[in-house]
Chains A and B, each alone.
Chain A
Amino acid sequence: MTRRWALVAAAGMLALAGCSSDLPDEPSSGGSPSSDSPKSEFFDQAEYDRQLAFRNATPQGPNGKPWEQMLEPQMADTAKFAKPGGKYTLCFSNAAVNNPWRQVGFKTMQQEVKLHPEITDFVVLDAEAKDDKQVSDIQSLSGRNCSAIIISPNTTATLTPAVEQACGTGVPVIVFDRGVNTTCPVTFIHPIGGFAFGADGAEFLKEKVKPGGKILALRILPGVDVLEQRWAAANEIFGGTELDVVGVEFTDGDAAKTKSIVSDYIQREGKIDGVWMDAGATAVAAAEAFQDAGVDVPAIVGEDQQDFLRLWVDEGLNAIAPTYPTYQWRTPVVAAVKILKGEQVPKEWVLPQPRITSDNVREYVKQDMPPLHYAMCGCEGMPGYPGPWK
C-alpha cells in the first residue's frame, strides 16, 4: 500500500514540476489545402474542373525542371522563417518506404539533399505506414533542432493534429504527396491530383475504344482518397460515353490476383476492349492475362513503371501512362531551402503531372533500370545517376 502512495506522491511531484500539453491551440480556420474531406462521396465537381483545367495550364518555372515548376501559384511570404548562414538541419517524417514508388521517390529526395550544401544534416524518421508511429515521429522531430520539417502524411485526417502541433513549434512545416486538413503548413506540394490522373486514362479509352466496347476497371483498394478520386473521375467520364463498363474489381495491388481477375473476365465476356487501372503497378500482369489467353492486348491504362513501358514498346501496345510523378520528392527540399532563405513559395505548390503516350514512350524506357523503377523521377540528370536507383 505504501508503495502505491509513493507513486501517487511522485506523480504529484511531477505534476508540480510541470504539467504540460503538446496539444496545439485551436486551429485558426477550417479551411483545408487538401483537395477533399475524408468522408465525402469522393467526387467534387469544382475540384474536378480545377484539376482538369490545370492539365492545360502553362506552368511557371524553369524549363525542363518540372519539379521546380508550379501551376497558378499564390505566393506566400516566408521572411519570418529566414535563417541566413546555412547549416540547415532538414527533418523529414516519411510515411513509409514500403512500395517501389516511395522507394524511388525517397532515393531521389536523398540525392536532392546532396545538391544543397546549405543542408548539413538530413534527419529522417520512417513511420513504417503506421499512423500512430508517424504522430510520435512528428512529435519527436518537433523536439529536435530542425530548421524545417517535411512531412509526407500516411493518411489525411489522422495526421492533422500532429501536423498542427509541429506548426505550433514555429518551425516551417512542408507537407507533400498527401495533404492534411489544416492550412498551417507553409506550403503543401502535390502534383495536379487524382481526378486528372483518372481522367487521363478514361479519356484515352473514350477515344480509342469504339462505342459499346467493354471496359474492365481495375482498382487497388477502396477507401484510399487519392485512389477514390482517380476512379471518381474515370467513372464520371465513362458515364458520358457509350462504353460498357463490365466490371470494377479490386486487385489489392496483387499481380497474381489481377491476372486471375482479368482471365476470368476474358473467359466470361469473350472480349475486353479496354482496361482502366487506378494505378499501374499490376498493369503488366493484366496485359499478360490477355497474352496468355492468346488474344491481343486491348487499349490499356498503365503507369510509368519500367516493366510496363518496356512491354509497351516491345509489343507495340495501345496504351497510355498517366503519372503521379516521383519527381515531386525533389520539390520539398527545394522549397525548404527557399523558405529558409526567405524566398517566397506558393501556399499550394501544384506540380505539373505529365502523361506518357505512344509518341514519347521511347524517351522514358531505360533498359538498365530495375523493372519497378518509375520513369518520371526527374533524376536522370542528378550526379551519381543511375547508381542509387539501381
Chain B
Amino acid sequence: MTWRPRLAEGTAPVLVVLLLLLVGLAIAGPAYDGPAGYLALLKRAAPLMILAIGQYFVIVSGGFDLSVGALVTAGVVIAARLIDGSESATTWVILVVLGFGLLVGLVNGLVTTKLLVPSFIVTLGMLLVLDGATFLWTGGAPRGALSTGFRTFGRGALDVPVLGEVPWSVLILLAILVAAALFMRSGTGRALVAVGDNDAAVRLSGGQVDRLRLLAFVLSGLLAAIAAILFGGFAGVSAQVGEGLEFRAITAVVLGGVLLGGGRGSVVAAAAGALSLEALFTLLNLLGVSGALESAVQGVIIIAAVAYAALGGGLRQRLRLWPKHRNSVQPVSS
C-alpha cells in the first residue's frame, strides 16, 4: 500500500485547520455528531466555496476580482425581476444570469488585458458600476420574486441512492470542485499558475498570457453567477445578499494558502479555505463568542495564515537542513 493522495503544494495546512475546526464543532455542538449537521454546514458553505474557486483562478494568475460580491447581488436582483414569480421563466432566466456572469468576467478580463488596467482597479470599477446599474434598473430596491424552480438549487435536495437526501448545492459544488481540480491538472491549468508565477517566461515560451488571464476572469464571473443562483435559492431576494462577499472569498483563498500575486496554491485548498471560514463562524457562534469579536478573530487568523505561508516554508526548510548543518559545520563555541 504505497498509494498516497497527491496533495498539491500548500494544501496540507488548511486541511489540518479544517479538521481541527470540524473536531471542534463535534465537541461544541450536539448537532454535529452525525452526518446531517456536516451536510448542512456544507450546504451553507457551498456558495462561498464556489466563489472561492472562481476567485482562485484569478488570484493564482496574478490578479484580484473585487466585483464578485456586486455580481452576486446583481444576479439575484436580475433573476427576481425577470422571473417575477413565473415558473415558466425559470430556465431562460438561469441562462441569462449565467450569461451575465460570463459577460462581466469577459469585460473584466478584456479591460485588464487589453487596456492594461490593474485588475484591482478594473474590478473595483466594475463593483461600482454593477452596484449602481442594478439598482438604477430596479428603482432602488429589488422587485419581482424568484420562482420555486429557481430556488430549488439553493434550497432543495435530491434523493441520491445510498446517501439519501443530498442538497442540490452540495452536488453542484462537488461537480465544480472536481472539474476545477481536473482543470488545474491540465496543461491550461498549469499554464494559468505559471502566468501568475512569471508571465514573461510563459510569454517567451509561447504561452497565450492574455488569453489565460481572460479565461480566469470569465471563470470567476461564471462561478459568481452560479453562486448567485445558490445564494438566491437559499435565502430569497435581498438587496444586500452579496455585500462583502468579495473580501470573504479572497480571505478564503488566502486561508487556503494561495499566494496573493499568483503562482502558488491549489484550488482544492482554496475551497477548503472557504469551508474552514464557514466552519469557524459556526464554531464561534456555538461557543457564544460575541458577533462583535468574530471579525477580530477572523483578522488574526488571516494574518496568521499569510504569515505562515510566507515564513512557514522557510521555517520548514531550515528545520530540514538543520541536521546536515550539524554534521558539517560544528559550532565554533558552545
Which A positions have Cβ atoms within 8 angstroms of B? 97, 99-100, 103-104, 106, 222, 249-250, 253-256, 258-261, 263-264, 267-268, 281-282, 284-285, 288, 292, 307, 370-372, 390
Known: A97-B140, A371-B145. A268 touches B31 (CB 8 A): yes
Give every chain B residue within 8 A of A372 (Cβ-Cβ). 141-142, 237, 239
**In the bound complex, what is the Cα–Cα distance between A6 and B234 (angstroms)?**
64
Contact, CB under 8 Å: A256 / B235: yes
**In the bound complex, what is the Cα–Cα distance between A370 and B234 (angstroms)?**
19
B294 nearest in chain A by CB position: A250
Determine which residue in B140, B145, B241 has the highest number of CB atoms from chain A within 10 A of its CB, and name it: B140
Give every chain A residue within 8 A of B231 (Cβ-Cβ). 256
Interface membership of B40, Cβ < 8 A: yes
Give every chain B residue within 8 A of A284 (Cβ-Cβ). 236
Give every chain A residue within 8 A of B235 (Cβ-Cβ). 254-256, 258-259, 285, 288
Contact, CB under 8 Å: B44 / A370: no
Give every chain A residue within 8 A of B141 (Cβ-Cβ). 99-100, 103-104, 370, 372
Give every chain B residue within 8 A of A307 (Cβ-Cβ). 145, 236-237
Interface membership of B298, Cβ < 8 A: no
**In the bound complex, what is the Cα–Cα distance between A92 and B121 (angstroms)?**
34
Interface membership of B291, Cβ < 8 A: yes
Give every chain A residue within 8 A of B30 (Cβ-Cβ). 268
Q: B234 to chain A: closest CB distance in Å?
A: 6
Please count how many residues in chain B sit with their CB below 8 Å of the partner chain's CB atoms: 32
Interface membership of B139, Cβ < 8 A: yes
A372 nearest in chain B by CB position: B141
Interface membership of B208, Cβ < 8 A: no
Contact, CB under 8 Å: B285 / A255: no
B31 nearest in chain A by CB position: A267
- The 8 Å CB contact of A100, one of B80, B144, B239, B292, is B239
Q: B331 to chain A: closest CB distance in Å?
A: 56
Contact, CB under 8 Å: A255 / B238: yes
- The 8 Å CB contact of A222, one of B145, B239, B282, B292, is B292
**In the bound complex, what is the Cα–Cα distance between A355 and B141 (angstroms)?**
24
Known: A260-B44, A261-B285, A264-B31. A285 touches B143 (CB 8 A): no
Contact, CB under 8 Å: A371 / B237: yes
Q: B196 to chain A: closest CB distance in Å?
A: 31
B157 nearest in chain A by CB position: A292
Determine which residue in B31, B155, B243 has the highest number of CB atoms from chain A within 10 A of its CB, and name it: B31
Interface membership of B299, Cβ < 8 A: no
Determine which residue in A222, A255, A259 has the highest number of CB atoms from chain B within 10 A of its CB, and name it: A255
**In the bound complex, what is the Cα–Cα distance between A264 and B142 (angstroms)?**
28
Contact, CB under 8 Å: B37 / A267: yes
Q: A368 to chain B: closest CB distance in Å?
A: 10
Contact, CB under 8 Å: B142 / A263: no
Interface membership of B240, Cβ < 8 A: yes
CB 8 Å contact bits of B31-42 with A (1 = contact, 0 = none): 100001100100
Interface membership of B29, Cβ < 8 A: yes
Q: A222 to chain B: closest CB distance in Å?
A: 7
**In the bound complex, what is the Cα–Cα distance between A250 and B155 (angstroms)?**
22
**In the bound complex, what is the Cα–Cα distance between A46 and B68 (angstroms)?**
48
**In the bound complex, what is the Cα–Cα distance between A288 and B139 (angstroms)?**
27
Contact, CB under 8 Å: B237 / A256: no
Give every chain A residue within 8 A of B241 (Cβ-Cβ). 254-256
Find residues 99-153 in chain B having any chain A CB closer than 8 Å to their own CB: 139-145
Known: A371-B145, A372-B142, A390-B143. A253 touches B155 (CB 8 A): no
**In the bound complex, what is the Cα–Cα distance between A254 and B235 (angstroms)?**
9
Give every chain A residue within 8 A of B47 (Cβ-Cβ). 256
A256-B44, A268-B29 known, 10 other contacts, Cβ within 8 Å:
A104-B141, A249-B285, A254-B240, A256-B47, A258-B235, A264-B285, A267-B37, A284-B236, A288-B235, A370-B144
